[in-house]
Structure 1
Amino acid sequence: MEREVGTGNAGAKEIPGKKVLLAEPNGFCAGVRRAIAMVEKALDTYGAPVYVRKEIVHNHYVVASLRRRGAIFVESEEEVPEGEVCLFSAHGVAPAVRSGAQARRLRTIDATCPLVSKVHQEARRFARDNRTVLLIGHAEHEEVEGTYGEAPEQTVVVENEEEARRLPLPTDTPVAVLTQTTLSVDETAGVLRVLRERYPDLVTPPDGDICYASTNRQAAVRDIARESDLVLVVGSRNSSNSLRMVEVARGEGVPAHLVPDVSELAEERLTGVRTVGVSAGASAPQILIDELLERLDRLGFHEVRLSHTVTEDAEFSMPARLVSPAHPAR
């Protein structure tokens, strides 16, 4: 498969026939790489099984691969036998979960993404300042559940602009805003506009909460959408950041679809398509991207052009206690 590297719109050489425009960056972010590596390290160190509360990241392929190695995924820390190793997922957990794990004497390993941990810290700080925390996000998402749990009596989840307009809080209420890290930048901006109009004393963190990986992948998918007849985003159905990428592409007026894996590629959608844009959510492994590109190649999309939007160089290290564990393998 020939790959011609370009830089998006500027001076890109035209390639006759069908082609793929591959967004860059795509796929794993630093937080996802770290979380997966932590499960693998725990298996190497302590031996199977190790328990993981919820999915370590929202990708079915990753979860299945780790399950084959000996990871056991559970919905609650209460399902973990007392004294066993239990990892918390990259999405973070509420303090009540930590307390429950401690009561069961679990050997916990926290794989929470550092950028999610930052939001938890902000929630605690705003609560100490006696502010009502307006948490923009999806109430059923694990990340929101964890952040909400930091100050449940002082936190209100706001999912969209309509909910922001209907909030019953008086306009002079001291409020602060936090955001789920995997949301659409544009959608969140709309909710923030409504909240700022309603609450003059609204406080936000010094830096935005939407993570660099979500922001970068949304910008990259927007770039390829402008040159594509169709956009395909590799990612699982429960991956919030992947779903937001599909929405961003559609916002550019281009048909866009989520492709959990190549077996779910609806080939009829390629009828009449000359340029197909491809990207992947932050929890999608490279193998799923490669399999999609190989299928597209067999369907006549032989040329692959990279559309580079931004370079990512973030790396998050594992906790020292996991790198040099005090307790050897069982």
Structure 2
Amino acid sequence: MKFVDEAIITVKSGDGGRGCTSFRRERYIEFGGPDGGDGGDGGHVILKIDQSKRTLFDYRRQKLLKAKNGESGQGKQKHGKNGKNCTITLPPGTIVSNADTNEIIVDLTDTEDEYIIARGGMGGRGNKRFASSTNRAPRYSQPGLPGIEIHLKLELKLLADVGLVGLPNAGKSTLISSISAARPKIADYPFTTLSPILGMVEPPFGEPFAVADIPGLIEGAHEGIGLGISFLKHIERTGILVHLIDVSQIDPESPLTSFNLINNELSKYSQSLAQKMQIVVLNKMDLPDTQEKADAFQNALKDIQVLTLSAATGKGVKDLVKLLSSKLTKS
């Protein structure tokens, strides 16, 4: 299934059913009173989280979603049935805005969230309702109220505890596949990851946590160059960033080049994203001649803790998982 994180849809709640104008007609009863029933209420449009959903793909082409209209009332005081609700299931982390005004209506983050986005029109009252001591035979009833139509913008921001950032081919996909059940495509060339990947990690202690891997960032990403910029929003909700660096690509003469490049792109995209807690990880330590480069990087960064590991062989990966679990438990 293709990953889709934005969609524009139109929703319409149901119209209320018309009230009935009717009079009792039975043998031997010449002047029966009013007995028109009420119309049924129109159905609501309801937004609900579905934990199994990870994308807005279902709404890429499904542009109009409608609840059912209420049924009209009938004689003998028979009320019309209420219209059936239209329930729209969305992945956790979906932000719903008014597409015409860009005003955010609701941010569906809680798994129990259920939100009535458009209430159905009220059913009209039948003429029985208008009978009084001064008007015993009302010959009018109410039409039902119309439903509400709204144009909505759906925007998905994945809910993850940890976000992986780094240059293309830093080994993020290999890392997420080694610490979780996620199985992204892995290859030795840039931009293997074309959409965000979400994986659940079960540490040896503490609660399970979610890790999001996004396409690698390159210089100029904040201006739309490359792929990662369009997916940075998926790590805006994370508590911790794991900054993964391919140690084999470090220049000992200028060891912080890639580190600074990524942080520069993060800060230009969002200051709040740049200020998140970062765990710096040097990956691919299984390759030859990497220790000297790792030492040069650590000496240049000085007071910041740096982990070294090999996602391919698994060496050092457990230490990273334990550290993440500890940080998340304290936060």
Q: Same fold (TM over 0.5)?
A: no
Which structure's relative contact order is higher, taking Cα pairs within 8 Å and 6+ residues apart? 1
Normalized against structure 1, the TM-score is what? 0.22
- Specify which structure has the higher proportion of helix: 1
- When Rg is computed on C-alpha atoms for both structures, the one with the higher figure is 2
